[in-house]
A and B are shown apart, each in its own frame.
Chain A
Amino acid sequence: MGSEFQNRRDFLKYFIGGTIALSGLDSFSNDLVKRKELKKLTLLYTNDQHSRIEPFPDNDPKYAGQGGFAKRAAVIKQIRKEEENILLLDAGDIFQGTPYFNYYQGELEFKLMSQMGYDAATLGNHDFDLGISNIVRQMPHATFQFLNCNYNFSDTELTGKILPYKIFNKGGLKIGVFGIGIELEGLVSKHLYGNVKYNNPVDCANSSAHHLKHNMNCDYIICLSHLGYKYDSSKISDLVLASQSKNIDLVIGGHTHTFLNEPVNTTNSEGKQVLITQVGWAGIWLGRIDVFFSHRGEKLFHSGEKQKI
């Protein structure tokens, strides 16, 4: 593995000595995309939407006026005009949190996500809040694929309806996406998750990633995880998963409602770079990562920013 630069500034310092202005570089990579010397993949993502169809009310102490599916839909529509290769993903807990879920059981969440063109989502613990049968009942409203590779659904109504992974072909790039779920025992009532069997997330993630990388020849591998970003205890988290992983490039996480200003740069069990990202909850933020690919290259640097729009 080559040099890993925490941010663009480090990269520039390394090459040039830290005296250059920061502008110009973004358009330079984009220029190369236009000249077909680089390929660009734009990842858009949410996690823990929790049925927040409408923005928080104006008198909310913390998030007044923030979020809302219709705002997100407009931003996504705009980005679709500008970018060619987009994947729109969600890391689970779409359900539960506003009366929309109590009254309509998730129907509107799935319909609006389908309208926005979501490609895939993984299941979070709260997606089981009205039982497995409710997930099955709402699925016809979703045009996107549900992914999970560490729950065994074979003894449930969900059998065959959830895939372990899916490969997306985007402008000549092969992107492998798989899902990982949290242990449901102790978190969700047994009568709601029924016979869903939980398997070790690290083993399942590594075996999916290995398959996607070496058998399916994917160029980029994304783990949609609902494990949670970090815990004080030894509980399995995205940080633990990433450190014990191989072949995963990016973990899009959820569950802990962690607002990360930018993806966290960490290393896997082979010392290679893995990014972990999460955008809080309730659709307050929309995450975006642009990945530029070349025929030969290393992860030269990662740069991130936060924008209020």
Chain B
Amino acid sequence: MIRLLRYILLTVILSACTAHFHVSEVKSTHYELKSSKNDSIALLNTLPYKLKLDNEMKQVVAYSDSNLTKDGNDLSLGNFACQSVEDYVRTNRNQIAGKHIIILNRGGLRNSIPIGEITKGHIFELMPFDNEIVIIKISGEKVMECILSMVKDKKLISRNLSLTVKEDELSDIKIWGIPFNIKEDYYVVTSDYLAMGGDNCGFFGKPISYETTSLKLRDAIFNHCFALTKINKHIIPDKTIGIRISK
């Protein structure tokens, strides 16, 4: 059989000869790098960088009772990030509390939170960007645009917003349990990245007011972790569902 193959291929190959080369076979291998050995020179080159970093990153900041992810319908990681921003609002800007909506983007959460000790390194990997929290005031109409985008693209996350989607109709929109009023203005607490239109958040453009906080989102998460640890609490998954889809 092999001989037959050889014959066929050789016939194809020898039957003509031009200047150009043509592809005759493509073979792919995708290697999953799991337990193969390390290159010692690469390790050596990494070492000075690693030592300095490890010292910083190994600091334990909290303890998690379960894995928090953003996989599929798991909202626990998004809710954890939102809760960190909520902590900031409650301790620093209590006057807007209840009239505010926290909006973050799923794509901005870059890694899961594992069970067990949570280090500074884990938080850096969850939130590697240096984005800062900003508070913008926008019209109810723009909030509605934001909500529609949230339902359609599923890129944005919020925790204190709830609504029901039934056959593409939105109903029962509530902010902190209070029915949403499109004629009112609302405070949106978000990242400077989204407020400046990132992740296609054009509706945040030209707000009524724009307030910077100079607090990085990552530092808000650190503060949330420190606050939990201070009162001997662990991170527990918050399964609050903001958007309910009824069929």
Contact = CB atoms under 8 A, between A and B. Distances in A.
A171 to B, nearest CB: 10
A136 interface: no
A68 B25 contact: no
A51 B18 CA distance: 45
Contact of A72 (B6, B30, B33, B200): B33
Interface in A26-78: 26, 28-29, 32, 37-39, 50-51, 53-55, 57, 59-62, 65-75, 77
B1 A20 contact: yes
Given A25-B5, A66-B34, A68-B33, A291 B12 contact: no
Interface of B: 1-2, 4-6, 8-10, 12-13, 15-18, 20-43, 45-46, 49-50, 52-53, 56-57, 67, 69, 110-112, 114-116, 121-122, 124-125, 128-130, 192-193, 196-200, 202
Interface residues on A, range: 35 or more
Interface string A162-205: 00000000001100000000000011111000000000000000
Contacts of B200: 186
A287 interface: yes
A288 B1 contact: no
A55 B111 CA distance: 13
Instruction: Please report whether the interface of chain B is mostly helix, strand, loop or mixed according to DSSP.
Output: mixed
A90 interface: no
Contacts, number: 265
Contact of A28 (B9, B57, B67): B9
Contacts of B9: 28, 32
A38 B24 contact: yes
Instruction: Please report whether the interface of chain A is mostly helix, strand, loop or mixed according to DSSP.
Output: mixed
B26 A101 contact: no
A81 interface: no
A99 B121 CA distance: 7
Given A70-B46, A108-B49, A186-B199, A298 B36 contact: no
* Most chain A beta-carbon contacts within 10 A, residue among B5, B33, B42, B199: B33
A60 B126 CA distance: 12
B113 to A, nearest CB: 8
Given A96-B128, A291-B26, A296 B5 contact: no
Contacts of B38: 68, 70-71, 73-74
A285 interface: yes
Contact of A220 (B23, B39, B42, B45): B23
A297 B2 CA distance: 19
Contacts of A275: 26
Given A54-B46, A104-B49, A304-B27, A285 B4 contact: no
A275 to B, nearest CB: 7
